[in-house]
Amino acid sequence: MAYKNKTVGIYTLGCKVNQYESEAISEELERRGFSIVSPACVCDAYVINTCTVTAESDRKARQFIRRAIGKNANAAVVVTGCMAQISADEIAAIEGVDAVVGNADKMSCAEIIERLFANGKNEKTEIFITDIKSSPFEKMRIGHFDRTRAYVKIEDGCESRCTYCIIPDARGGIRSKPVEDVISEVTALTRGGCREIVLTGIETGSYGKDLGGIDLADLLCRIDKIEGIGRVRLGSLDPSLIKEDFVKRIAELESLAPHFHLSLQSGSNRILALMKRKYNARQAMAAIELLRKYIPNVKFTTDIIVGFPQESEENFGETVEFVKAAGFLTAHIFPYSKRKGTPAAIMQGQISKDEKSRRLHLLEAVEADVRRGILEAEIERGNVKDVLFETFSDGVAVGHTADFLEVHVPSSRPLHAEIYPIRFISTDGNVLFGEIA
C-alpha cells in the first residue's frame, strides 16, 4: 500500500468497451494501493484511454493528453486505447507522455505506473504495442461499477473490414470471453446489487464465433438463469446478425431489455455497398420488423454516417426516409471522417465539409421529430413503466425504462438504483416527465 497517497485520474474516450476497460484498469490500480480520483483534479498520474474512430476522436485524445500534462508536468502519463494502437509514434512525440500502451496490454497500465513512481518519469517515451491480430482475449474483469448499471465486455475485435473503418486494425479479430467467465462476472455484479448489465463488445453479435458451439443467444439464455438477475441490455448489433431463430430465442428471456442498438450507418443500398456492409436497406428493415414482431414495445437506436464519399442527394434522402420508417428513438449521426489506410479515404467523390454539415443538421431535425412522436405516443397511451433511477439533481430523479426511455420525476430524495412504476405526463421532445404511479 505504498501508493495510498498517490492519485490517478483516468480519461476515457469512445465506446462502452473503453468504459469497461477503464474500470478494469481503475480496479487494478486500486488493488495496488492507488487512489482513483476525477481526472479534472491535479493528479500524480493520468491514464488516457483513447478512441480513433474519427479524426475528431484523435483531436480529443490529443487535447486530453495535453490537458493532463498541463495540470501536472511531473505526473506519470500513460496513453492507451485505439489511437495508441494505431498512432503510437504520434502520441510518443508529445512531450510529457511516459508510455504508450496498445489494446492488447491495457492491464499492464497499473504496473507501468508503479514503475514510473519507483524510477521517475521516463526521459524517452516507452511504447508497448503487441500485434493485435495475434493477441488472445485479454483477461480482465470488474468487481464493482455503479450499482445501477455495469458494462461487461464479452467480445473484442471485428473482422468486417468496412471501407470507412480503422477499428479492425486497432482491435484485431473476433475474440470472445469464455462463457463461464462471463457468467461469473455477471453473477458477482448481480450479487453486489447491480440492477442492469450491459453486454458490450466491438462486434457483440459475433460472440462465440471463435469458441465453437455457442452463440450470443446461448449466452443470453445462461445469463437469464442467474439468480436475482436484473435487466440485461445488449450493446450494438449488426442488422445482418438478426435472424428469426435468434429473435425467437431471446424474445422468451425475462431479463432482456426490449431495446436494440443497430449499427445501420446508411439507409441507401448504394452507400451500404460502397461501405461494404453485410446487408442492404431492405434486410436492415426486415431485422427491425422481425424484432418488433416478437418483442412487444421494442425500441431502437442507431448510428448513421452522413456525407460518405459519392453519397448523392438521392442516397441521403433514402437514409432520411429509412430513419422515419424505422422509428429510431435516437440516432448517433456523424459526418464521414477520413481514416488513413482505409479504402474510403481514397475514394472519388469526397463530400465537402459544408455539405456534410448541412446533411447532419437536416437528419438531426428528422431524428428529433421521430423521437418526439415516439414520446408523445407513450403519453397518449397512458403508459406506466418501471424506471430504474440513476441520477438526482435539483429535486429531479432521472432514470431509464427497460426500453431506454429517459424519464425525469420530481423527488425529495435520490432514488439511485431504485425501480418505481412511473406514469408519463409530458415531454419536451427529448425526455419524458412523469410521476410515481
Per-residue pLDDT tens, the chain, 437 aa: give them: 566 689 999 999 999 999 999 999 999 999 999 999 999 999 999 999 999 999 999 999 999 999 999 999 999 999 999 999 999 999 999 999 999 999 999 999 999 999 999 888 888 999 999 888 777 777 777 776 677 899 999 999 999 999 999 999 999 999 999 999 999 999 999 999 999 999 999 999 999 999 989 999 999 999 999 999 999 999 999 999 999 999 999 999 999 999 999 999 999 999 999 999 999 999 999 999 999 999 989 999 999 999 999 999 999 999 999 999 999 999 999 999 999 999 999 999 999 999 999 999 999 999 999 999 999 999 999 999 999 999 999 999 999 999 999 999 999 999 999 999 999 999 999 999 999 99
Quick one: CA dihedral 330, 336, 341, 346, positive or negative?
Answer: positive
Taking a C-beta distance cutoff of 8 angstroms, is the pair 6, 34 a contact?
yes
36's enclosing H/E stretch is strand 35-37
Q: Position of cell 428493415?
A: 285
| Rg, the chain, Cα only | 22
7-130 topology per CATH: Rossmann fold (3.40.50)
**Of residues 152, 151, 92, 154, the one with CA closest to residue 124:** 92
> Rounded CA gap, 54 and 47, in Å?
21
**Of residues 121, 120, 59, the one with CA closest to residue 96:** 121
- 397 CB contacts (<8 Å, ≥6 apart)? 389, 391, 408, 409, 410, 411, 414, 415
- State whether residue 348 is helix, strand or coil: coil
Q: What is the DSSP secondary structure assignment for residue 107, as one 8-state letter? A: G
Q: Position of cell 505526473?
A: 75
Same fold, 7-130 and 134-257: no
**Of residues 30, 300, 340, the one with CA closest to residue 165:** 340
Taking a C-beta distance cutoff of 8 angstroms, is the pair 408, 363 a contact?
no
Domains of the chain, by residue range, sit at 7-130, 134-257, 260-378, 382-436
Q: Residue 121: what pLDDT?
A: 87
Q: Give me the architecture of the 382-436 domain, per CATH.
A: Beta Barrel (2.40)
Which CATH code fits 260-378? Answer: 3.30.750.200
Q: Residue 131: what pLDDT?
A: 86
Report CA-CA distances (Å) from 205 to 190, 239, 243, 262, 297: 23, 9, 11, 10, 21
> Rounded CA gap, 115 and 95, in Å?
19
**Of residues 182, 257, 191, the one with CA closest to residue 222:** 182
In the structure grid, which three cell numbers stand for residue 224, read together?
A: 437469464
311 bridge partner residues: none
Q: Residue 154: what pLDDT?
A: 97
pTM for this prediction: 0.92
Taking a C-beta distance cutoff of 8 angstroms, is the pair 328, 301 a contact?
yes
The type of residue at 144 is H
The type of residue at 234 is L
> Rounded CA gap, 134 and 161, in Å?
17
In the structure grid, which three cell numbers stand for residue 242, read together?
A: 438478426
Q: How many residues does the chain have?
A: 437
Report CA-CA distances (Å) from 51 to 17, 18, 200, 356, 361: 10, 8, 16, 22, 24
Q: Which of the four CATH numbers 1.10.10.60, 3.90.380.10, 3.30.750.210, 3.40.50.300 does domain 134-257 have?
A: 3.30.750.210
In the structure grid, which three cell numbers stand for residue 22, read together?
A: 477503464
In the structure grid, which three cell numbers stand for residue 212, read together?
A: 465453437
> Rounded CA gap, 416 and 89, in Å?
43
Q: Residue 185: what pLDDT?
A: 95
For 131, how many CA atoms within 13 A lie in the half-sphere containing its CB? 2
**Of residues 407, 416, 411, the one with CA closest to residue 395:** 411
Report CA-CA distances (Å) from 111 to 225, 227, 393, 417, 427: 37, 36, 38, 34, 49
